[in-house]
Amino acid sequence: MAFTVTLRPSGHTFTADADTPLLQAALDAGFTLPYGCRNGACGSCKGKVLDGEIDHGKVQDSALPAAERTAGMALFCCATARSDVTLECREVGAAKDIPIRILPCRVHKLERVADDVIVMSLRLPTNERLQFLAGQYIEFMLKDGKRRAFSIANAPHDDELVTLHVRHVPGGEFTGHVFGTMKEKEILRFQGPLGSFFLDESSQKPIILLAGGTGFAPIKAIAEHAIHTGITRPMTIYWGARDQAGLYLSALPPQWAAAHAHIRYVPVLSDENWDGRRGLVHRAVLEDHTDLSAFQVYACGAPAMIDAARADYIAAGLPATEFFADSFSFATPGS
């Protein structure tokens, strides 16, 4: 049986059955409530039940002491509805509402998907989940104080592992290790989530997603998040690489496009002759759209691509405020 859940003060409503934790039901409906462990241990998802009956589920006393329970508080990651309920809780509208944390993680899997790209998945300690917005990144904290940034390639609803797309930088210290001596089960430490590259969900404008190489990682997260939350704004994904091997997950965007009429996919190669589009990926957008004034653009990849895209799209009418980008800039030697 499905119950109606109302959130205060926003007034948002969604449904939850008796087996689905209220947090999960809210996330499934596209409403982001704060959370950490999703296991009744950290208290991050705590809120007040203003009206209705719930089952608290298996929560730890330290996270929800008896006095708080009596006062109507609950941990929404464990609590399930037993009637229509009204909950008082904060909703995460922007990155500033999500705590930035330092967490250890274990390398769960290293999967070579191209000569110079490894998909790395990380497992967090038991009782920990990373809350983030699709498009954000983490920074590995290396032993010598250096940091290396990588975008999260999975969408927030799919948060069992943190997945990254790591390109090998020739001579690179960290990526050299990833492609050389790193083994599954290695322990790393990172800080995150970071960055303000995420979808503006208040807009109704059609979306252009532009990815260069492993810039596909946050674009994938944004696309999967938009699909999961039922955003049906027209969305065109341009993914550029030198050759077909560089489109290392080439089967995925066509699947999105085949399943959703509002999604289009345009792969573009700069250095290989094929029967698809040729040239620089950011130029392909301009070949298809002479006037960008009605769009939002989300771009991710090498700094040169981002700089050129920004200048050329604004010249084609895109309002500067509608260009969102994460530039894969890198640490200068010695930093």
Ligand X SMILES: Cc1cc2nc3c(=O)[nH]c(=O)nc-3n(C[C@H](O)[C@H](O)[C@H](O)COP(=O)(O)OP(=O)(O)OC[C@H]3O[C@@H](n4cnc5c(N)ncnc54)[C@H](O)[C@@H]3O)c2cc1C
Reduced to 3 states, what is the DSSP secondary structure of residue 57? coil
Which of these, 131, 104, 102, lies nearest to 186 by C-alpha position?
A: 104
Is residue 13 within 8 A of residue 86, CB to CB? The reply is: no
- Residue 215, interface with ligand FES (CB under 6 A)? no
- Residue 295, interface with ligand X (CB under 6 A)? no
Pairing of strands 147-151, 207-212: unpaired
Residue 330 binds which entry of ligand X, ligand FES, none, CB below 5-8 Å type-dependent: ligand X
Q: Residue 196 CB, nearest distance to ligand FES (Å)?
A: 24
Residue 121 binds which entry of ligand X, ligand FES, none, CB below 5-8 Å type-dependent: none
Contact flags string 18-37 toward ligand FES, x per CB under 6 A: -----------------xxx
**Which residue has its beta carbon closest to ligand X?**
172
Name which position in 61, 173, 184, 243 contacts ligand X (CB under 6 A).
173
- Residue 212, interface with ligand FES (CB under 6 A)? no
Reduced to 3 states, what is the DSSP secondary structure of residue 14? strand
- Residue 160, interface with ligand X (CB under 6 A)? no
Task: Classify the phi-psi angles of 72: left when phi > 0, otherwise alpha if psi is within -120 to 50, otherwise beta.
Answer: left
Residues 173-197: b if buried by 16+ CB within 10 A, e if exposed: ebbeebbeebeeeeebebebbbbeb
Number of chain residues interacting with ligand FES (CB under 6 A): 14
Q: Residue 123 CB, nearest distance to ligand X (Å)?
A: 18
Residue 240 binds which entry of ligand FES, ligand X, none, CB below 5-8 Å type-dependent: none
Rounded to 5 degrees, what angle do the CA atoms 322, 324, 330 make? 155
Q: 295 or 328: whose CB is closer to ligand X? A: 328
- Residue 136, interface with ligand X (CB under 6 A)? no
Distance, CA of 72 to CA of 82 (rounded, Å): 15
Residue ranges binding ligand FES (CB under 6 A): 35-45, 63, 75, 77
